[in-house]
Structure 1
Amino acid sequence: MSSESSIHTRLQHLGTAPCDAQHPVAPVGLPSIRTSTVRFNTVEDLEKTYRRKNGGERLVTYGRMGMETHAALEDVFCALEGGQRAFLASSGLGAISMALLSLLSAGDHLLAADCVYGPVYHLSNTVLGRMGIEATFTSAKDVQALAKHVKPNTKILYVEAPGSLLMEMLDMPALAAFAKEHGLILVTDNTWGSGYAYQPLALGADVSIVAGTKYVAGHSDLMLGAVIANDPALIKTIDTNQYAMGFSVSADDAWLAIRGVRTLPVRMQQHARNALDVCQWLAQQPAVRQIFHPAWPDDAGHVLWKRDCTGSNGLLSVALDMSPAQVRAFVNALTLFGIGYSWGGYESLVQWVDTGFLRNHAYFGKLADTAVQVVRLHIGLEAVEDVIADLQQAMQKAL
C-alpha cells in the first residue's frame, strides 16, 4: 500500500494481519495481543533492544508499551494526523496530561485558549498549579492580542479548534506563526477533527492530541487518547516521559479502536450530513437565537473551516431563547438523545451547557448579556427525520 493512497484506503489496510510467504493463512484483522512480560532470547538481544529504544525507535522492553496491536493503532493515528510518532494514553484527558506534563516544568507558564476542554481548567487548578506551573486562559480569536499574555517563562500555547462548547474555529496557521515568533510549543486538541476532518500538524501545530474515545473508536465503548508529533526533539521528550509516567492502554481497547476506525470516514460524513440537516431545521425555529457549527454557512468560523478543514462531524451547539425551566423541560423531553458529556459515538447526545462558564468566553459575544440557554447536541446516525421530529416535539413541550 502506497503512503500516497487516500486515507480512506489506508484506514482499511493499516493494522491488518500479515498474509505472505511466512504467513500463508491469516485473519484479516490483527488480533488483540496482550502481555505483561516481554521475553528476550539472549542478554545480547535485550541489550540491543534497549540501545535501539534509547536511540528513539519504537521498541518494546516491557508489556506496558504494548505489542503489535498497540503499534498498529499508533500507525493509524500517525496516518490520520500526518505525524511521525504517536503515543497512547488511557483517555483523552490522559493524553492532554501526558503532553503537558512532558513539555512543562515547574516555573513554566502555560498560555491557553479559553475555549479548551473544560477539564483542562481543572488540571491547571490542581496538578499543574501544585507543580508551580502558571496558566493563563484567554481568547485566541485575535492572535496578536495573545502577545500581551506572553511572559518570559511561557513555554506552551495550548488551544483546541474548533472549541469544545461553541465550536469556534481558530486560525491555526496564524497561531503557529505566533508560537514560532515567541519560541512557544503549539499544542492543540484535535478531537473534533480526529485527523480525518482537520490536520493541525500540517497547519503548523507542533503537537496534536486526540481523544480516540470519540470518533476514532466510534461506538461509545472505550476510553482512549493519543499524542502525535513530528519534531524529533519533541518526540524524544514525550517518549521519555510517557515511559516514566507509566501511561498504558489495554490491548483489547487498542483492538477495538482499530476496528472502529475502519468506518471513521463513512461515519463522520454521515454525522456531518445529519448535523447540517438539523442546523437547517433549527434555523427556522423562533426560539433559536444562534447556531454554533463551523460547517454551517452562518457560523462566524465558516470561512476558516472552509479554508482549513476537509470535513465536519455531528457536533453543534445552539443558543435558545428559553428560561432555565424551559430548557430543562426541552432536554428531558428528548427521547432519541441521551443526556451525557461525551460524543463521537453512533448515538445522539445532549448536554445543557453552563452559560456561567461561557460568559468567560469572548466568542459568546453579545449573547452573554442575554438570558439565552445553550445546549450542545451530538447528532448521531439515526434517521435524521426522526432526530428532527424528536427535537420538534421536545421544543413544543418546552415552549
Structure 2
Amino acid sequence: MTDISTRLVKPASDIPDGFASLSQGVFHASTIVFPDVASFLHRQAQAHTGYSYGQNGTPTHYALANKLSELEGGGHTVLVPTGLAAAVLVNSMLLVAGDHVLLPDSIYGPTLETTKTLFAKWGVRHSIYPNDIGAGIAAFFEHNTKLVWTESPASNSMEMQDIPTIVAAAHAHQIKVVMDNTWATALGFRALDAGVDFSIQALTKYVGGHSDLLMGAVSTRDEAAYHALRDTAELLGYYVAPDECFLALRGLPTLALRLERQYASALRIAAFLQSHAAIAQLNYPPLPGDTYHHLWKRDFKLGNGLLSFSLKQDNLPAIEKFVAALQLFTLGNSWGGVHSLIAVAPQRAPKTGWLLRLHVGVEHVDDLLADLERALATLD
C-alpha cells in the first residue's frame, strides 16, 4: 500500500455514472500524460484534434470552439486571449515581410495601431481605403496585397461596408478577406457564408455577455488555414484559460435572447434620439433613414444594442454635463454586456467634434428612455 501523500497526488479523474449535467465541465491542465513513449513522441501530431498540452486545448476549450463554429455555420475556430489577439493572429499567420495589407478607414483603432507599428516594423506595409469603396477597392490592390480587412458596422461610427462586393473583388485577385464581426455576431451576419475567409470577434462582448471575461476567436472554413492559425497561435504563446471558456459557454445559450431584447430597445432609443432637438447626428444602421440602412437590410438578420450620436452642443462641457446627468448609462469603454453604457470619443478625422456611443443593455427600455430624456433636458 502506497503512502497517503503519494495517493493524494494521483488525479481524481473519474466522472460518476449518471452525472449528466447541463453545464460544461471545466478542465484545467498544463501537463497531459501519455500511455507510452510512441504516443508521447508523436503528441504534436494530435495538437489540432486531441490533447498534447494544456495550451493546445482541453475538453472545455474544444466545447467552446465547436459551439462557435456551429454558430458561424460550419468550419473551425481558434480561441485567443482577446479580440485584438484575434486580429494579430490573422495578420501573423498570413503576412510576411514585403506583403501589403488593406484596412478600411473605420477599422477598430487597435487593429490599425498594431498593423502600422508591429507589422510595419516586421516589413509589412499597409494602406487605408475608403470605408464605402465597394467594388472600387480593386484600385487599391497592389501586386503584393495579401489581405483585406473589413469591419461592418464600425464599432464607433457605425459605418457599413458592402462585404459581398469587397469579397468578390478580392477573391478575383486571390486576396484573402478578414472581417471583424463583433458588432453583429454570426446571429446577425454570417460572414463566412458571405465568402469572408476569416471571421473574427471579441467574445468579450456579446458572447460573454456579462462584462466578466476577455477572449477572442477566429473562425474559418479552410482546414489548412485553421491548422496554420493553430500553429501560429502556439508560436505566439496564445492561451485561453478554461474558466473563461466556461463563462463564454455560459453566455451562448442566452445570446439570441439578449440580442433580440437589446436590439428592440436600441431601435426605440435610436428613434427617440433621431427626432430629439438636441441631437445633431444619429448612427444606427438598423433604423430606417440611416445612411447605411440599405446595406443592413440587405445583408443582416439581427441588430444589437450599440449606436452612436453627436450633440448639437458639440463641446466637452456640454458632454460632461449630459453624461453626469445619466443614472442608468454608466461611463465605460466596452460593450456587449447586460448593462447599459456610454462612451465618449473624438470623431475620427476628417470629422471634428465628439461622438457619444451608447450600449443599450437589458434594463427596461422605458427606464432607459426616461434616463436619456432627463439628461438631454439639462442641455436646454
TM-score range, shorter chain: over 0.9
Q: TM-score normalized by structure 2?
A: 0.92
Query: For 2:222, which of 231, 254, 274 is the aligned residue?
Result: 231
**Secondary structure, aligned partner of 1:112:** strand
Q: Map of 1:115-126 to 2, 5 A cutoff?
A: 115-126=106-117
Query: For 2:57, which of 50, 62, 66 is the aligned residue?
Result: 66
**What is the match of residue 335 of structure 1?**
327
**What is the match of residue 260 of structure 2?**
269
**What is the match of residue 183 of structure 2?**
192
Q: Give, in whole Å, the separation in 2 of the partners of 1:329 and 1:337.
A: 14
**Secondary structure, aligned partner of 2:29:** coil
- Greater CA drift, 308-317 or 44-53: 44-53
**What is the match of residue 359 of structure 1?**
349
Query: For 2:88, which of 97, 117, 135 is the aligned residue?
Result: 97
Deviation at 1:373, TM superposition (A): 3.4
Larger radius of gyration: 2
Deviation at 1:47, TM superposition (A): 4.2
Query: For 1:42, which of 29, 36, 39 is the aligned residue?
Result: 36
Deviation readout 1:33-83 (Å, 9 max, x if unpaired): 111111111123334543344xxx422211112210000000111011123
- Greater CA drift, 98-107 or 222-231: 98-107
Indicate conservation of the 8 Å contact 1:350/1:375, yes or no.
yes
Query: For 2:337, which of 318, 342, 345 is the aligned residue?
Result: 345
Q: Give, in whole Å, the separation in 2 of the partners of 1:102 and 1:26.
A: 39
Indicate conservation of the 8 Å contact 1:331/1:352, yes or no.
no
Q: TM-score normalized by structure 1?
A: 0.88
**What is the match of residue 216 of structure 1?**
207
Consecutive unaligned residues in structure 2, runs of 5 or more: 1-14
Code of the aligned partner of 2:29 = T
1:383 aligns with 2:373: no
1:397 aligns with 2:361: no
Deviation readout 1:243-282 (Å, 9 max, x if unpaired): 2111110010000110011100100000000100101211
Consecutive unaligned residues in structure 1, runs of 5 or more: 1-19, 361-367
**Secondary structure, aligned partner of 1:262:** helix
Q: Give, in whole Å, the separation in 2 of the partners of 1:32 and 1:92.
A: 22
Deviation readout 1:99-147 (Å, 9 max, x if unpaired): 1111111111110111111111211232111111111122131223322
Q: Give, in whole Å, the separation in 2 of the partners of 1:255 and 1:314.
A: 24
Q: Give, in whole Å, the separation in 2 of the partners of 1:175 and 1:23.
A: 53
Query: For 1:313, which of 291, 295, 304 is the aligned residue?
Result: 304
Q: Give, in whole Å, the separation in 2 of the partners of 1:290 and 1:219.
A: 29
Deviation at 1:388, TM superposition (A): 0.9
Paired residues in the alignment total: 365
Code of the aligned partner of 1:35 = A
**What is the match of residue 156 of structure 1?**
147
Indicate conservation of the 8 Å contact 1:70/1:254, yes or no.
yes
Q: Give, in whole Å, the separation in 2 of the partners of 1:135 and 1:292.
A: 28
Q: Give, in whole Å, the separation in 2 of the partners of 1:297 and 1:398.
A: 27
Q: Give, in whole Å, the separation in 2 of the partners of 1:284 and 1:240.
A: 52
- Greater CA drift, 288-297 or 256-265: 288-297
Q: Map of 1:3-152 to 2, 5 A cutoff?
A: 23-47=17-41, 49-53=43-47, 57-152=48-143
Indicate conservation of the 8 Å contact 2:90/2:229, yes or no.
yes
Q: Give, in whole Å, the separation in 2 of the partners of 1:80 and 1:170.
A: 22
Deviation at 1:359, TM superposition (A): 2.4
After the TM superposition, which segments of 4 or more aligned residues of structure 1 sit over 3 Å from their partners? Answer: 47-53
**What is the match of residue 279 of structure 2?**
288
Q: Give, in whole Å, the separation in 2 of the partners of 1:114 and 1:292.
A: 17
Indicate conservation of the 8 Å contact 1:272/1:313, yes or no.
yes
Indicate conservation of the 8 Å contact 2:180/2:199, yes or no.
yes
**Secondary structure, aligned partner of 1:202:** coil
Deviation at 1:25, TM superposition (A): 2.7
What is the root-mean-square deviation of aligned Cα atoms in Å?
1.7
Indicate conservation of the 8 Å contact 2:137/2:166, yes or no.
no
Q: Give, in whole Å, the separation in 2 of the partners of 1:65 and 1:199.
A: 27
Q: Give, in whole Å, the separation in 2 of the partners of 1:330 and 1:372.
A: 15
Q: Give, in whole Å, the separation in 2 of the partners of 1:211 and 1:32.
A: 21
Code of the aligned partner of 1:331 = V
Code of the aligned partner of 1:329 = K
Code of the aligned partner of 2:155 = S
Deviation at 1:283, TM superposition (A): 2.0
Code of the aligned partner of 1:393 = R
Q: Give, in whole Å, the separation in 1 of the partners of 2:74 and 2:20.
A: 29
Q: Give, in whole Å, the separation in 1 of the partners of 2:355 and 2:42.
A: 57
**Secondary structure, aligned partner of 1:203:** coil
**Secondary structure, aligned partner of 1:259:** helix
Deviation at 1:28, TM superposition (A): 1.6
